Amino acid sequence: MDSERQPAATEPAPAAQSSETDAALAAQPLTSNAEYRGLRWAFIGSQGLRAGWSVAIFVILTFLFMAILWAVAARIDKQILQMKSGELTPPVAIAGELVLLLALLAAGVLVALIERRRMMDYNLTGPRRLFHFLSGVAAGFVALSALMGAMAWGGWIHFGPRALSGTLIFSFAAAWGVNFLLVGFFEEGAFRCYLQFTLTRGIDFWWALPLIAAMCLCGFLATTGQGVWGVYAFALLGVAPCWILQVKKAPTAPFWQAAWVTSTFFGLIHTGNNGENWIGIFAAAFVGFVFCVSVRLTGSAWWAIGCHAAWDWAETYFYGTADSGMVAKGHLLTASPAGSALMSGGTDGPEGSLLILPIILLLLAAVLVLYGRGRHIAPGVHR
């Protein structure tokens, strides 16, 4: 998958050579040197292990560690990873996300050792990391609040009485905060950290296009709902811009082609959530692209991690709305959709509302305005 060129072939030997030299060369295996170079080129490029092999190893290791950790967790407590009557509770959610994050970290450590990198090299370095994380937290909460405000103003959501009181407000707030911080680290660590960094160093349009096509085919074969149309829509929107960047040989083309792939993939994995409609899937891919833009402009994924965690926390705990069709136990406020499902999101929740699209556009505009002047380059951009 890497874009490095194959090393040039060895120059032919001069015609005038001694017969002894000719005999010695003839006695050697004819393809030994070329075969070695060919095999090495297939696995190793100018930036180390080629991106395609790196991603394959990372995915295999991640699923392997997931299987091991799920088995260990089940032996410790068979009930902790099981939802009762479709109800999502903090212990179940935290246990599940912890398993995913530990598997991701274990795979990341091993791949980093193979590639002779540091874990922080995967888009976790960069200036003002704490500031970017905290500003991402603020942006996520404000953006989700703006969406809720717009829906309430239009009569597409109704708020009921407060669901918690006393110390339960703080205990559930903390528990869900821990859970969604784990969610932010896992999902951003997988998509905007490792995959975005690795694909950037080894992709072009002609690699990105078949990957996108494969994802669309997987969505068509593996899903039964209408949500997969959100994947198709986002994938289609990226074709022309990425092709133009390829034709112009823009130095930043690999980053944006990688962003096209990782964002489409981010939308695809959300089709596994039973309550998602096509708007929610498209919004997931779209916000994934916004997170890629933040990596490009801030130099790291810390803003994206904070925004992701705060958005989910505000949606699930603070406002108490459905998230992919599921309402969590222990939410502060209560809210119910009203009117047209296209505007209210219906059982999907606010992320399934058409109003989420202008909110994400505003979030993108905020990122461009706040961080566009600095033009910090993410560690994954080797241009």
Quote the tokens at residue 128.
């003002």
Q: Is 57 exposed, middle or buried (0-12, 13-18, 19+ CB in 10 A)?
A: middle
C-alpha–C-alpha distance, residues 153 and 66, integer Å: 43
φ, ψ for residue 157, nearest 5 deg:
-150, 140
Q: How confident is the model at residue 374 (pLDDT cuts 50, 70, 90)?
A: low
pLDDT, tens digit, 9 for 90 and up, residues 347-363: 889 999 999 999 999 99
C-alpha–C-alpha distance, residues 373 and 127, integer Å: 14
Say what the pLDDT of residue 36 is: 45
Strand intervals (E) in the chain = 44-45, 48-49, 157-159, 335-337
Which residues make beta-bridge pairs with 336? 158
φ, ψ for residue 323, nearest 5 deg:
-125, 110
pLDDT, tens digit, 9 for 90 and up, residues 167-226: 999 999 999 999 999 999 999 999 999 999 999 999 999 999 999 999 999 999 987 778
pLDDT, tens digit, 9 for 90 and up, residues 271-288: 887 677 899 999 999 999
Say what the pLDDT of residue 380 is: 45
Per-residue pLDDT at 85 exceeds 70: no
Q: How confident is the model at residue 382 (pLDDT cuts 50, 70, 90)?
A: very low
CA 84, 86, 92, 96: dihedral to nearest 10 degrees?
130
Rounded (10°) angle between helices 51-76 and 90-115? 140
What DSSP line would sit under 258-289, residue for residue? HHHHHHHHHHHHGGGSTT--HHHHHHHHHHHH
% of the chain residues with pLDDT over 70: 84
What DSSP line would sit under 176-218, residue for residue? HHHHHHHHHHHHHIIIIIIIHHHHHTS--HHHHHHHHHHHHHH
Say what the pLDDT of residue 195 is: 98
Say what the pLDDT of residue 7 is: 37
pLDDT, tens digit, 9 for 90 and up, residues 94-135: 999 999 999 999 999 999 999 999 999 999 999 999 999 999
N- to C-terminal Cα separation, the chain: 17
Say what the pLDDT of residue 260 is: 98
Average pLDDT, the chain: 87
With beta carbons less than 8 A apart as the criterion, state whether 264 and 227 touch.
Answer: no
pLDDT, tens digit, 9 for 90 and up, residues 295-348: 999 999 999 999 999 999 999 999 999 887 778 899 999 999 999 999 999 888
Nearest to 276 by CA among 319, 228, 324: 324
Say what the pLDDT of residue 347 is: 83
Check residue 111 and report its DSSP letter. H
Check residue 337 and report its DSSP letter. E
Dihedral sign of CA atoms 72, 75, 78, 80 in order: negative
